[in-house]
């Protein structure tokens, strides 16, 4: 670092996406041979996302809303259809090779199923040594490598490290396996972690421990973390900021307390109603905070998504405009936290009847 460069501080932008879009082409069937139309799954459309040092951003939505696709795009595992991804302010597009490795040194992904992401025929020592070697952090001799391996396991609270180093994945519990996956990611000394449903396959009793570990890493290593989940209650507990996705688009965002306690978008309210948070139970019946019925139904087809707001076919507040015009982000009045809060919903256009 040169003398003129300021040291990075908590809150600095690490990774950001602008207008990120991914359409997966659909293979043409026999019936489509005579049409010119090219069908695609509109998995992710026009996403804005900013990950900052020392902060957790939750991306919440039901199955198929596009959360994993966003993470894979940010990890450069998928090529994007359009949009921009910037790492420390610089646009990046990599397709494998040395550039991809350099990107992975800064941005690491943690997957939902630690059993699938660890090779069953190799020990913890093998997985972690490989990660350290790939990223040039194995040290110059075997004593240094041993110390680095121990440090990684200590960092994910697998103690004493000697007990775990020579174990195979099947000899570990689900929580321990996920901790090894996290240790492997830390082997790169990344600046951002993309955690795709990191606890959803774990026993309920050990989920909190793994989330607490991630929070501890965020604080101690000043990591920027993207936390993908379908469980909005855990976003309130764990994330600083929460973004809600529906059918490939972002519909609401703000600090986690505000989004989960004062949800604005009818879809966010529906998500919260279907996953009650004990702290809100005393307010059930308060029409301002918990409308009685926010609609049900199924998410739409992403091959031919609804025009206008994609939630309008399920929305009990839908107005004529909702089916024809895509709503922009409307800034909402600040509540308790004083942090920015927005919703992409015509209900919040100035003058709209709520």
Ligand X SMILES: Nc1ncnc2c1ncn2[C@@H]1O[C@H](COP(=O)(O)OP(=O)(O)OP(=O)(O)O)[C@@H](O)[C@H]1O
Among 63, 140, 141, 142, binds ligand X (CB under 6 A): 63
Classify 184 in phi/psi space as left (phi over 0), alpha (psi -120 to 50) or beta. alpha
Please identify, among the stretches 67-75, 116-124, 127-135, 179-187, the one whose residues bind ligand X according to the rule CB under 6 A.
67-75
Which CB, 132 or 232, lies closer to ligand X? 232
Considering only CA atoms, which of 252, 257, 266, 271 is closest in space to residue 342?
252
Name the packing angle between helices 174-186 and 142-155 (round to 10°): 130
Six token digits for residue 61: 């939505």
Q: How far is the CB of 306 from ligand X (least distance, A)?
A: 14
Among 64, 139, 174, 209, binds ligand X (CB under 6 A): 64
Among 66, 169, 187, 254, binds ligand X (CB under 6 A): 66
Six token digits for residue 136: 């040039």
Which CB, 14 or 302, lies closer to ligand X? 302
Cα 20 to Cα 45: distance, rounded to the nearest angstrom: 6
Among 14, 57, 60, 61, binds ligand X (CB under 6 A): 61
Which CB, 61 or 254, lies closer to ligand X? 61
Among 68, 129, 178, 242, binds ligand X (CB under 6 A): 68
Q: Can residue 300 be called a binding residue for ligand X (CB under 6 A)?
A: no
Q: Can residue 24 be called a binding residue for ligand X (CB under 6 A)?
A: yes
Six token digits for residue 95: 């397709």
Longest dimension (CA), the chain: 69
- Is the separation of the CB atoms in 354 and 316 below 8 Å? no
Q: Can residue 309 be called a binding residue for ligand X (CB under 6 A)?
A: no
Which alpha helices (DSSP H) does 135-246 contain, by range? 142-155, 162-165, 174-186, 204-221, 232-238
Considering only CA atoms, which of 41, 59, 60, 64 is closest in space to residue 49?
59
Please identify, among the stretches 5-13, 63-71, 186-194, 343-351, the one whose residues bind ligand X according to the rule CB under 6 A.
63-71
Q: How far is the CB of 150 from ligand X (least distance, A)?
A: 35
Among 73, 193, 264, 302, binds ligand X (CB under 6 A): 302
Q: Can residue 178 be called a binding residue for ligand X (CB under 6 A)?
A: no
Cα 337 to chain centroid distance, Å, stands at: 23
Site string for ligand X, 201-230 (x = CB under 6 A): -----------------------------x
Vertex 239 angle, CA 113 and 299, to 5°: 65
Q: How far is the CB of 337 from ligand X (least distance, A)?
A: 27
Which alpha helices (DSSP H) does the chain contain, by range? 67-74, 97-106, 114-117, 124-134, 142-155, 162-165, 174-186, 204-221, 232-238, 256-261, 266-274
Q: How far is the CB of 214 from ligand X (least distance, A)?
A: 18
Among 15, 20, 41, 75, binds ligand X (CB under 6 A): 41
Please identify, among the stretches 31-39, 61-69, 157-165, 329-337, the one whose residues bind ligand X according to the rule CB under 6 A.
61-69
Which CB, 44 or 165, lies closer to ligand X? 44
Considering only CA atoms, which of 246, 251, 229, 247 is closest in space to residue 238?
229
Size of the site for ligand X (CB under 6 A): 13
Six token digits for residue 278: 């004990």
Q: How far is the CB of 301 from ligand X (least distance, A)?
A: 8
Please identify, among the stretches 58-66, 85-93, 138-146, 332-340, the one whose residues bind ligand X according to the rule CB under 6 A.
58-66
Residue 28, CB-side half-sphere exposure with 13 Å CA sphere:
9
- Is the separation of the CB atoms in 262 and 333 below 8 Å? no
Q: How far is the CB of 226 from ligand X (least distance, A)?
A: 12
Residues that bind ligand X (CB under 6 A): 24, 41, 43, 61, 63-69, 230, 302
């Amino acid at each position: 670092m040169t003398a003129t460069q300021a040291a990075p501080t908590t809150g600095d932008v690490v990774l950001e996406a602008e207008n990120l879009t991914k359409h997966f082409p659909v293979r043409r069937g026999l019936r489509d041979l005579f049409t010119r139309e090219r069908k695609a799954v509109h998995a992710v459309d026009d996403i804005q996302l900013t990950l900052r040092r020392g902060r957790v951003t939750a991306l919440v939505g039901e199955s198929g809303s596009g959360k994993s696709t966003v993470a894979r795009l940010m990890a450069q595992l998928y090529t994007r259809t359009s949009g921009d991804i910037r790492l420390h302010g610089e646009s990046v597009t990599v397709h494998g090779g040395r550039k991809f490795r350099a990107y992975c040194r800064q941005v690491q992904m943690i997957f939902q199923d630690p059993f699938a992401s660890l090779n069953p025929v190799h020990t913890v020592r093998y997985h972690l040594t490989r990660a350290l070697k790939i990223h040039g952090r194995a040290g110059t001799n075997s004593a240094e490598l041993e110390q680095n391996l121990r440090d990684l396991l200590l960092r994910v609270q697998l103690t004493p490290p000697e007990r775990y180093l020579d174990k195979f994945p099947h000899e570990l519990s689900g929580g321990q396996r996920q901790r090894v996956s996290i240790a492997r990611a830390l082997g790169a000394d990344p600046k951002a972690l993309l955690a795709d449903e990191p606890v959803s396959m774990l026993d309920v009793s050990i989920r909190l421990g793994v989330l607490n570990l991630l929070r501890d890493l965020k604080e101690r290593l000043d990591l920027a973390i993207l936390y993908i989940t379908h469980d909005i209650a855990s976003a309130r507990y764990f994330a600083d900021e929460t973004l809600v996705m529906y059918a490939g688009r972002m519909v609401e965002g703000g600090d986690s307390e505000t989004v989960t306690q004062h949800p604005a978008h009818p879809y966010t309210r529906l998500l919260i109603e279907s996953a009650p948070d004990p702290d809100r139970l005393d307010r059930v019946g308060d029409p301002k905070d918990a409308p009685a019925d926010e609609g049900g139904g199924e998410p739409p087809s992403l091959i031919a998504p609804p025009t206008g707001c994609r939630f309008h076919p399920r929305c009990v507040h839908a107005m004529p405009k909702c089916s024809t015009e895509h709503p922009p982000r409307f800034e909402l009045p600040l509540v308790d936290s004083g942090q920015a809060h927005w919703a992409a919903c015509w209900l919040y256009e100035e003058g709209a009847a709520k």
